[in-house]
Amino acid sequence: MAPNHRISRDQDLEQMQSLVEFTRARLGTEAQSPFGSSVVETETGRLVLRRLNAVRKENDPSSHAEVRTMRAACKRLKKPSLAGHTLYTTCEPCPMCMAMALWSGVDRVVFGATIADASKHCAQIYVSAKQLQQRSDMDCRVEGPVARASCVALFEDPRMVEAMSLWRKSRRMTSKQKPSKR
């Protein structure tokens, strides 16, 4: 079990709503993405920083919000460990992002929308954050969904629906890769 956590469910909800507002404020801009992430100190709830997904902007398939947030947080803190910190994310982390959360040593991962929610709008890998955590020997509590409806609404915003549609058209997706109707 990860270290003693002092952040309550109400504080998680407050952190997630703040992240949703940060993410929503960037819809309709060049940086728009429904995927937002933040790192906060677990004990105090103090924000370290936030980032959005930048895959298209950076032409880098690993530029997911969680990866960008954890990389920047480690640089800001000048250490490769995020022990003592919680990762918040508007969508359940994909296996790449969850693996990085585990490697970084975050105490907790708190997510909003689920992989199933995101799969209605974009391609996903169907391995849950909890499944990945359970297959590791690293301590990390995975909690969610938190503020799920607010996070799903980011995907359903008309600006994101249009952007995701254009993104899907730019990719050659097989029938297996097309977003599900689940």
**Residue 15 backbone dihedrals phi, psi, to 5 degrees:** -65, -45
Measuring CA to CA, which residue among 67, 88, 114 is closest to residue 16?
88
Q: How far apart are CA 44 and CA 68, in angstroms?
A: 22
Which residue bears the tokens 């929610």? 117
Point out the catalytic residue in the list 66, 143, 156, 162: 66
DSSP assignment letter at 89: E
Whether 66 is catalytic is: yes
Are 24 and 10 contacting, i.e. CB atoms less than 8 angstroms apart? no
Task: Please identify every residue annotated as catalytic.
Answer: 66
